[in-house]
Amino acid sequence: MITTGTKWIYASPERRRIYAEEEFILDVAEKIWKLLDEHEWTRSDLANALDTSRANVTQMLNGSRNMTLRTLARIAYILNTEVYVNFGGKESVGQWQDVADALMLRPKAVEEGSIHTQELRLQYQTGAANVDWQDIGYRNIA
């Protein structure tokens, strides 16, 4: 069953893009918050270390202000760690994306990666457009 929230995310390519941006910003911010917690730092401590205001740090972490790559690298340096960028994490998604888009599947279904494209297409052609990701995920005919 495609739910209201999932439908909203997948309503258009633009909406999906915006959602992907927000998800990434949130992921980065949550990792920074975790680091701050581990170091027992407050956002004011981070603001001082970055020579900026507490409000600026708040806005960067809640996504209302863009954080530059330089700032991100500086935060990592200050907190004695490094940033690793990996564009390959969702590489397997690409080959399923067109079909998944047609089916309005949740990304999790696509990430499963155990689905043969023809099987998905077959299901689509036979009208199984509302099939849940779990139903599809275990029909591996590759």
Partner 1 sequence: MEEFYSGRVRTIIWTADAVDSWPIVAEQDPTKNQACAAQLLALLRRLGDFHQLQSPDQINPEGDKIYAVKARCGLRAYGWFGSDEDGRRLFVVSHFIMKKKQKLSPGDLRKAKEIRDKFEKD
In terms of CB distance, is 33 or 121 closer to partner 1?
A: 33
Least distance (Å) between residue 60 CB and partner 1 = 11
Q: Which residues contact 32 (CB under 8 A, 6 or more apart)?
A: 61, 75
The one among 106, 121, 124, 137 contacting partner 1 by CB under 8 A: 106
Per CB under 8 A, which of residues 36..55 are in contact with partner 1?
37
Q: Is 105 in the site for partner 1 (CB under 8 A)?
A: no
Q: Which residues contact 73 (CB under 8 A, 6 or more apart)?
A: 83
Least distance (Å) between residue 4 CB and partner 1 = 5
Q: Which two tokens stand for residue 101?
A: 């888009």
Q: Which two tokens stand for residue 117?
A: 């494209």
In terms of CB distance, is 66 or 126 closer to partner 1?
A: 66
Instruction: Tell me how far apart the alpha carbons of residues 115 and 93 are, in angstroms, rounded to a whole number.
Output: 11
In terms of CB distance, is 23 or 91 closer to partner 1?
A: 23
Is the four-CA dihedral 107, 109, 111, 116 of positive or negative sign? negative
Q: Which residues contact 11 (CB under 8 A, 6 or more apart)?
A: none
Instruction: Summarize as ranges the residues that interact with partner 1 (CB under 8 A).
Output: 1, 3-6, 8-9, 14-15, 18-19, 21-23, 25-27, 29-31, 33-34, 37, 58, 61-64, 106, 108
